Amino acid sequence: MARWGMVIDLDKCTACQACVVACQAENNIPNANPESAAKGRNIHWLEMIPFIEEEYPHTRMRLLPRPCMHCENPPCIEVCPVGATQISSEGIVGQINARCIGCRYCTTACPYTVKSFNWFKPAWPKGMERYLNPDVTVRYNGVVEKCTFCHHRLQKARDKARF
Ligand code: SF4
Ligand code: SF4
């Protein structure tokens, strides 16, 4: 099966997290409020994972950008009781918000812990709603969300190529 892929050059990555912020803005991911952040309930579709290289005392901290891996045989799909997470013919693992019943089986099954549950109704600081991306649906409380491989951008490019 032909499938989309994304390469991140780890030798060039400085862990500045500009990509994390861009992903939040592109995909209408709400900022965590202090209460949800304290409980580890903030949502990121792309996150920096810290790991340590070498032996003490010459250890070196590295940070690894981690989006959804869009696995070939995704365990998150296997466990979903309602088919709310599916793989496309191009290898993109998507979420169907309207079908999700919020059971969170998939958040447990994902080995990369990339899925997030919406514990709260999403909210943005006053005025920020104007910056929401009209091409991406705002999710609601009670459903799980994750990286969609910016599927909406692929669709836009396809539409442009056709006309
Ligand atoms: S959510 Fe997890 S298990 Fe599912 S495709 Fe992404 S990385 Fe794989
Ligand atoms: S939380 Fe939603 S997407 Fe995940 S397994 Fe349950 S119904 Fe499926």
* pLDDT tens profile 118-136: 998 998 889 988 999 999 9
Examine residue 10 and state whether it is found in any structural domain, yes or no: no
**Residue with the larger pLDDT of the pair 64 and 1:** 64
**C-alpha of residue 78 to centroid of ligand 1, in Å:** 11
Please give the residue range of the domain that contains residue 132. Answer: 18-162
Examine residue 129 and state whether it is found in any structural domain, yes or no: yes
Q: Model confidence over 28-87: pLDDT tens digits?
A: 999 888 888 898 889 999 999 998 989 989 998 889 999 999 999 999 999 999 999 999
Measure the CA dihedral 35/40/45/47, to 10°: 120
**C-alpha of residue 147 to centroid of ligand 1, in Å:** 9
Compute the residue count for the chain.
163
Output the pTM of the full model: 0.90
Domain of 94, CATH number, reads 3.30.70.20
Q: Is 110 exposed, middle or buried (0-12, 13-18, 19+ CB in 10 A)?
A: buried
Cβ atoms of 51 and 160 within 8 Å: the answer is no
Looking at the chain, list the stretches that DSSP marks H as alpha helix, in order from N- to C-terminal side: 18-26, 34-38, 75-79, 105-109, 151-162
Query: Domain total for the chain?
Result: 1
